């Protein structure tokens, strides 16, 4: 992964790098590899993730169909 440093602005480059790593899931993977995970724990975790993904998709589907109210958009201030 590469990030360009413009005008010697290392802080901004680090922010961009962290955001990219977060989006790619590198931090989550590093945390998972820190210690051994038993196969039974891995199976339980993966099933729970699948359930969460399914519920999220169903919620979005119901919002699109108008059965649930759409989420409120946060006001951005600058």
In which domain, by residue range, is 61 found? Answer: 37-66
Cβ atoms of residues 35 and 44 within 8 Å: no
Q: What is the pLDDT of residues 28-69, one digit of tens each?
A: 899 989 999 999 999 999 999 999 999 999 999 999 998 888
Residue 20 pLDDT greater than 90, yes or no: yes
In a domain, 77, yes or no: no
pLDDT band, residue 71 (cuts 50/70/90): confident
50 and 29 share a domain? no
Tell me the C-alpha distance between 12 and 76, whole Å: 20
Is residue 3 a contact partner of residue 17, using CB atoms and an 8 Å limit? yes
Q: Per the domain annotation, does 73 fall within a domain?
A: no
Tokens of 49: 């993730």
Q: Do 26 and 48 fall within a single domain?
A: no
pTM of this prediction? 0.58
Confidence of residue 78 (pLDDT cuts 50, 70, 90): low
Residues 29 and 2 in one domain: yes
Q: Do 47 and 20 lie in a common domain?
A: no
The total number of structural domains that make up the chain: 2
Residue linked to tokens 């108008």? 66
In the chain, DSSP finds a helix count (H) and a strand count (E) of 3, 0
- The answer to whether residue 9 is domain-embedded is yes
What was the pLDDT predicted at 39?
A: 95
So what's the pLDDT on residue 73? 82
Helix, strand, coil percentages (3-state) for the chain, rounded to 5, are 65, 0, 35
Tell whether 72 is covered by a domain: no
């Amino acid at each position: 992964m590469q990030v360009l440093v413009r005008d010697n602005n290392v802080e901004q480059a680090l922010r961009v790098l962290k955001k990219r790593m977060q989006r790619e899931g590198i931090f989550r993977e590093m945390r998972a590899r820190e210690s051994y995970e038993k196969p039974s724990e891995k199976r339980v975790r993966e099933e729970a993730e699948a359930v969460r993904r399914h519920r999220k998709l169903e919620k979005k589907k119901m919002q699109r169909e108008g059965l649930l109210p759409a989420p409120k958009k946060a006001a951005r201030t600058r």
